[in-house]
Structure 1
């Protein structure tokens, strides 16, 4: 892949993540909209100064403009994935997807068993957790206000306070998306 192709892909990816139009990014970077349009089309020969202006306007490291995009398709079958251990509990957590460059989120599958409680410490200020129950029943959320959830229930809560995950059925499978602040 040529450098201009890498830049074109990264520019589209990062601009999309930032939710910016070509015009808005051009204004922030102090560049002509036509210059950005050409770069996204994989044309042109941008200077280092142009690329620094774009990276600064997108609030990403310069190197992100040369990163290859993560694979567009990812399949993690049940029983596969990157296991994450939890101290003091039998919690089985599997990292399904860590955020690609510029992203601030991770996706996990939790397998809980009855009688097991995962006490989680507060994460960085502004962290949000999104939980979806696939099967079983669980008590989830801030320690002072957990909710009982069943299959198909979704619960979003601040992850920057102490919180719990507890199976209240024989087994429970939860999907957790952690959204971190910028």
Structure 2
């Protein structure tokens, strides 16, 4: 589950999911079909009764074609609005940056360093995997790439069915519109992920 002080992230995810659904005029059934997350679970998340795992939130973001970080802020801008390039949009995006939060599953933590910026189509995270955890991710929307830089530990990255091992200071680029995975091979591994969405 996403862990946060005072359930702030749970509240923000609920608000943003409801907002995105409203903007797309999607029923819970429609959102479920797009995301692969059950109607019941989506309803619980919207009501703040359930906090999704990081993997589930990624599925929701991918299915609704939104950035991951767009669900975490109070007034986050979705990827659907990424074509907006006004100064007002830049100001709103910049205002989100001090509000970043740490979210965590038992063996995985994600810190938003820079929320999604519609002017650059990037978002930046610092992730920590522990206890040799292996995290699998379904394909993101077409054209999404991830640039991975290992800060400490040993990270194995899987793409195209092949594993590649990266040590501290090493990096790679993932085609994130295909299934991919990460594995901690050091007991604890910290790395940066820079995610770019196509415009």
Q: TM-score range by the shorter chain?
A: 0.5 to 0.7
- Tell me how large the CA RMSD over aligned residues is: 2.6
The equivalent position to 1:129 in structure 2, one of 124, 146, 155, is: 146
Matches of 1:92 and 1:143, distance apart in 2: 25
Pairing 1:84–2:103 present = yes
More helix by share: 2
* Aligned-residue offset at 1:105: 1.3
Correspondence for 1:160: 177
1:115 match: secondary structure: coil
Structure 1 alignment gaps of length 5 or more: 1-58
Instruction: Look up the match of 1:3.
Output: none
Partner of 1:175: 192
Shift of 1:68: 4.9
Deviations 1:121-171 (CA, angstroms, capped at 9, x unpaired): 110011111000000001013160221000000110100111111100111
- What CA distance in whole angstroms lies between the structure 2 residues aligned with 1:132 and 1:163? 16
Deviations 1:5-64 (A, max 9, x none): xxxxxxxxxxxxxxxxxxxxxxxxxxxxxxxxxxxxxxxxxxxxxxxxxxxxxx9437x2
Q: Which runs of 5+ in 2 are unaligned?
A: 1-81
2:177 and 2:171 map into 1 onto residues whose CA distance is: 18
Where do 4+ consecutive residues of structure 1 move more than 4 Å? none
Rg bigger for which structure?
Answer: 1
Q: What TM-score, normalized by structure 1, do the two folds share? A: 0.56
SS in 1 for 2:118: coil
Query: Aligned pair 1:61/2:84, yes or no?
Result: yes
Number of the residue aligned with 2:122: 105
- Contact in 2 for aligned 1:114/1:166 (Cα 8 Å): no
